[in-house]
Structures are given as C-alpha cells and as structure tokens.
Structure 1
Amino acid sequence: MSKVALVTGVGRRIGIAAAIAERLGNDGWDIAFNYWQPYDERMPWGRDAESRAELVRRLDRAGVRSLAVEADLEDAGAAEAIFERVGAELGAVGALVLSHAESVDSGLLDTTVESFDRHFAVNTRASWLLIREFGRRFTGEHGSGRVIALTSDHTVGNLPYGASKGALDRITLAAAHELAQLGITANVINPGPVDTGWMGPELIDTMVGLTPLGRLGTPADVANLAGFLCSPEGGWINGQLLYSNGGAK
C-alpha cells in the first residue's frame, strides 16, 4: 500500500509547507499539496508563480507521485472536495499536515468581524474539517496514521491569527484521543521564528537575539521534525505540542 501525505498551505517555494512536502517526498511519501494563490496575491510577498511547478519537479526527482490541488479553505466544502480528489488520483491519505494559515495583523481594537471570521474559518474550522475527513476515510494500518498541525503563540497585535491558532491546538490535541481507535497520532508543532521572507532586518535582529543558538529557524528545521513524526520511529509521540524553536524566548 502506497504512502500518501496531504500537505496544506503550499503557496511559496520558501515556505514551511513546501519544505515539509519535499522532505516527506524524499522519505518516500506520495504528496498531495493544497494551495490558494488569491491569498498570496493579497499579502505583501505576492504570488509565487513558479512554486507549484518547482515542487512538482522536486518530487518527480524524488521518484514519488504528486498532485497539486488549488482550493479555498475558507469554503466549508473544500475539505471533502480535496479528499475526494486525492483519494481518486493518489489513494487514501495516510498523513495530514496542516500548514495553511490566514494571517493578517490586527489587535483587539482594530480587528474587524470579517477578518476575525475569516481567520477562524481558515485556521480553525478548515483544520477541524480536514482532520474529520481524514479520520472518516483513514484505512491504513493501525498506528500508521499521522496528523500534524503548525501553530504559533502570536497574540499581541495579531489577535485573530493567534486566537484561531490556539483553537487549532485544542482540536488537534483532541484528535490524539478521539482518533486513537483508528491508530492515528496527532501532534502540534510550534516552530517559533522562521524566516520565510516576511521579516524585515530589524525584526530579524530582534528574533536572533532572543534565540540561544543565534539564528532564526528555517523551513528545513520544521520539515525535519515533521518528517520524524511521520516516520515509524515517531509513532510513539502523540498528543503533544512540540516547541521546535531553538530555545527562543
């Protein structure tokens, strides 16, 4: 039975999700990856037009199959549609990595209801629906299923993002218990400050100064942990919120 991993939020080549997808591909997983270009287009970094093709090329070189699925996770029907397509073209999903996010800075006093609702629809509701769909469809060997969610402890000046990620944590950790009878583990990774092109020089200096190892995290650092958690050797780690942040304070 082939291994199929579904990775969400693969919008940019320098992003965490792309690094995780490539790492899992190098580990022998067939990769389905979700992206939504309109999100990147309205963000400061803009659209990475070559991201999808470049990742497909890298996965081809790894000798695994791949499938790109564009879908707006704000749509409540997206999770089911994604799993339907992945199941039809690659087979049953054995690992689900939730690396998508809506992230627009705003605080307690200036967050709009529209922005708040969008953050929770994408970061929280979509993650729940994806985990639910995964659990309903999982057919793998007991103990082989994996759910991994990427989180953050941002709150100040980042209210809807931080609040929706906090809810995501609870959903994912609940899955470790509620999906136990299926043999699925579920863990959350908090990668701390990772440079994916959104930090300015001043913020980089500040974050480096707060990290004992004297550097920022990289997408590859996060991918290394995700790869381990998806491996047989990582199967005893379950129901954990793991800080993989170089000791950043």
Structure 2
Amino acid sequence: MALVTGVGRRAGIGAGIVARLAADGWDIGYSYWQPYDERMTWGTDDEAPELIQRQLADLGVRAHPVSADFTDVEAPGRVLDQVTEALGPVRALVMAHCESVDSGLLDTTVESFDRHFAVNARATWLLIKEFAARYRDPFGAGRIIALTSDHTVDNLPYGASKGALDRITIAAARELSQLGVTANVINPGPVNTGWMSPELVERLTAQTPLGRLGQPADCANLVAFLCSEQGGWINGQLLWSNGGL
C-alpha cells in the first residue's frame, strides 16, 4: 500500500501520483487539507476526496482518504494509523503536501516562516519517523519519496523549508538502511496546476527546451518508477524531472 500526502485537488500533482500508482496496482491511502486550498487563489475542490476515491476504485484498487493538518505534530501518526487500519501496512510513502505562500526576505512574517517549516520540513520528518516505526515489509521493498522545489527568491519560507525537506529525506536513505528502504527527492520544476498567470506560463514555457510546462503525469511517472522493483537501486538522490528548464 502507498500513502500519498497532498491530494487535495484533482488538478494537483498528488492526484496525478495516486492515479498512476493505482494503475500499477497499488492500494492508496491519501491525505488532504482543504483549509489550505481555501486560503489560496485557486480555492477548494470540494468534491476531490470523494471523486478521487471513486476514480481509484474504478481502477480496481482500495483507497482511503484522510483529512490532515500537518501543522499539528500529532497528524502524521494519526494518518499512518488510519490508513494502516483501513488498508494494511504502508510500503511506499510519497509526500506531495506543502505550504506555499509567496514572500521575500523583507516581508516574510515569523508566523508564515514557522508554518512553512512545520508543514514542509517538520511534518516530513515526522511522517518518515512514523513510517519507519511501522515498517514490516521485506528488506529492499520500502520506498520514501518527497517532492521539493528550488524556488526561494521572493518565496523565502517555501524554498528554505523545502531545502530542509531535501536533507531530511536524503538522510533517511542512510539512517533507515537496516530496513532496506530507499529515500529520494524529486524536483518536478514548474507544474501548472492552476497557480500560474498567463504571463508566467508563457515565460516558463519559453525557458523549457521541450517547449511545454510539466504536467502532473510527468512527476507521477517518475514516482511510479521509483516505487517499482526496477527503481530500487536509486537511493539518496535529488532527481530533476523538469524537461530541462
């Protein structure tokens, strides 16, 4: 079973990941947090949890959604407990959740800085910790994958907290070696899931050698490979999947 965090909108990367893993036969636990989307310009996709669950069922797998606020230090453990009770042990942990509110060096508030680190860095650590404590699958079968970003200019708390996420996840490749769990980070580059202006779309498309922006499926394909048996020798890496931006 795979647990994927950050599956709050049908247009999001998380939704693409769960659909791709389900196509490979994984049962899926997934988390979402609609109050975050309510604060953002794209708004809430109220029907997403139910419709995504139905989509996964149509693919022939079991699915269990969990609402989780990762500013709460107890949330990672609760999520693992709930999806394990519903679907069985978690063999792959894929972390696509985030807090991302633009601000720079001079206008970032302490509250915003702390929230970004709580969600993007601290929750990542706690999810990995809780996953490792419960892991019982065969040596070499476990997977940890986190999504990152290098966008820090005018996006200080997001980029800085994602940098911390990188180090935490890559450390797991060595610290969890006794479990045979691989741990990798993916930087998918800019993926337009509804947050880009037309001007930004045009500019970033022009900067990409392949002449298009990334799609959720592009990141999902790499996640699926890393979760497969064939991807088991890739470990402790930060991988770029951005079309050559």
Q: Is the TM value for this pair above 0.5?
A: yes
Secondary structure of the residue aligned to 1:7 is strand
Gaps of 5+ in 1: none
Q: Could you tell me the TM-score, scaled by structure 2's length?
A: 0.99
Aligned-pair CA distance for 1:151: 0.2
Alpha-carbon RMSD across the aligned residues, in angstroms, is 0.5
Matched letter for residue 99 of structure 2 = E
Partner of residue 227, structure 1: 224
Are 1:77 and 2:107 counterparts?
A: no
Gaps of 5+ in 2: none
Q: Could you tell me the TM-score, scaled by structure 1's length?
A: 0.98
Secondary structure of the residue aligned to 1:82 is helix
Q: For residues 142 and 23 of structure 1, what CA distance do their matches in structure 2 show?
A: 24
Partner of residue 176, structure 1: 173
Q: For residues 85 and 53 of structure 1, what CA distance do their matches in structure 2 show?
A: 17
Which runs of structure 2 are paired with 1:34-45 in the superposition (5 Å)? 34-45=31-42
Identity %: 67
Secondary structure of the residue aligned to 1:74 is coil
Figure out how many residues of one structure are paired with residues of the other and give that number.
245
Q: Which moved more, 1:158-167 or 1:76-85?
A: 76-85
Aligned-pair CA distance for 1:104: 0.2
Q: For residues 91 and 106 of structure 1, what CA distance do their matches in structure 2 show?
A: 40
Q: For residues 72 and 193 of structure 1, what CA distance do their matches in structure 2 show?
A: 25
Partner of residue 128, structure 1: 125
Partner of residue 65, structure 1: 62
Partner of residue 200, structure 1: 197
Aligned-pair CA distance for 1:230: 0.3
Partner of residue 187, structure 1: 184
Q: For residues 150 and 207 of structure 2, what CA distance do their matches in structure 1 show?
A: 15
Q: For residues 12 and 59 of structure 1, what CA distance do their matches in structure 2 show?
A: 14
Aligned-pair CA distance for 1:49: 1.0
Partner of residue 151, structure 2: 154
Q: For residues 173 and 226 of structure 2, what CA distance do their matches in structure 1 show?
A: 13
Q: For residues 43 and 202 of structure 2, what CA distance do their matches in structure 1 show?
A: 24
Matched letter for residue 146 of structure 1 = R
Are 1:241 and 2:244 counterparts?
A: no
Aligned-pair CA distance for 1:193: 1.2
Partner of residue 113, structure 1: 110
Aligned-pair CA distance for 1:110: 0.4
Deviations 1:151-197 (A, max 9, x none): 00001000000000000000000000001110100000000011111
Matched letter for residue 20 of structure 1 = I
Deviations 1:87-140 (A, max 9, x none): 111111000000000000000000000000000000000000000101111000
Matched letter for residue 91 of structure 1 = G
Matched letter for residue 199 of structure 2 = E
